[in-house]
Homo-oligomer: A and B are copies of this chain.
Amino acid sequence: MKIAVDAMGGDHAPGEIVKGALKAAKILPDIQIILVGQKDKIDLHIPEDLKSTIEIYECSEVIEMDEHPAAAIKKKKDASIVVATRLVKEGYANALVSAGSTGAQMASALLGLGRIKGINRPAICTVLPTLQGGKLLLDVGANPDAKPENLLQYAMMGSIYAEKILGLKSPKVALLNIGSEEGKGNELVQAAYDLLKQSSLNFAGNIEGRDIPYGTADVIVCDAFVGNIVLKTIEGMSSSLFQLIMQKITASTIRKIGAILVKPGLKEIAHMLDYSEYGGAPLLGVDGTSIICHGSSKENAIFNAVRVAKECIEGQIIEKIVDGLEKSTQK
């Protein structure tokens, strides 16, 4: 199986991206990596003894984070994200991974891979660390002005992903809302509630923001505006609270001694909350596997994103979504 990795995308590209890709090539069975980008820059980060084993697919351009996505991918036909996406489209690679501009990756996917027939809007699906393990939140960034039928499709795609990738049997799907009772919320979620209730999904109704970290639902559905803000609020809460804890538990000599003793416990929590462990977020609904990574991704995050790409292909996520759509339209 071949995974194209956009070696030029991300805050720590190409160094950390290459490291993560090499780790995946070494550890994961049946994985061949194609590093897409500027050969001279990538080469610096590949140890001599591996140079003959890793394929580099040369391309000349890079899309920067501040460029307008749609304009950039049209102008820079030889940008690493555009080329990586094309390799998937042409069947040369089975999936692609990038930590570059999310907008450019989405635009490349929409233009290069196209949508799965029947899916109106793709969604970025992320794994959230919770007290009950990893749970799904989608959409966290693709479509900030969603319609009720989009949310239904997110729920269907998320449910398939949770079953195949997280290994959850009949995943509990919930709608993110401002109250638990039916009839709560804005016009969008009220209409989406009705659609979800009528679907064949295991729909558990509404959940509120405070339920998210407790992991009470397996798949949480919302529009990208809400999802992105929630995801980043959770990230901000984790990091700010840890900063505060480290400051407060080392504020005196006695506390510092205590801090040394409890440190292994805090490390376990930091590990649980570490997004890099969960790999990238797939863009569900496009006709090809495109894994979106956090811009700040380092070696471990890229490694796990390649792992997720592999699991998506092995789990036949796209085929299952096509099947799911066919079944739901036959209903």
Contact = CB atoms under 8 A, between A and B. Distances in A.
Contacts of A177: 229
26 contacts: A130-B240, A131-B244, A144-B178, A144-B186, A178-B229, A185-B225, A209-B228, A209-B230, A209-B234, A209-B235, A210-B239, A212-B233, A213-B240, A214-B240, A225-B226, A226-B226, A234-B237, A245-B266, A245-B269, A250-B265, A254-B261, A255-B261, A255-B262, A257-B261, A258-B262, A258-B263
Nearest to A183: B68
Given A144-B186, A210-B235, 17 more contacts: A208-B228, A208-B229, A210-B239, A213-B237, A213-B240, A213-B241, A226-B226, A229-B230, A233-B234, A238-B241, A245-B266, A249-B262, A249-B265, A250-B265, A254-B261, A255-B264, A259-B261
B232 A233 contact: no
Nearest to A208: B232
Contacts of A30: none
A230 B225 CA distance: 12
| Secondary structure type dominating chain A contacts | helix
Contacts of A185: 144, 225
A236 B261 contact: no
Interface string A118-158: 00000000000011000000000100110000000000000
Nearest to A184: B144
B234 A211 contact: no
A82 B261 CA distance: 55
A27 interface: no
Nearest to A187: B145
B240 A238 contact: no
Given A262-B259, A265-B255, A243 B209 contact: no
A90 interface: no
Contacts of A262: 248-249, 255, 258-259, 262
Contacts of A224: 178
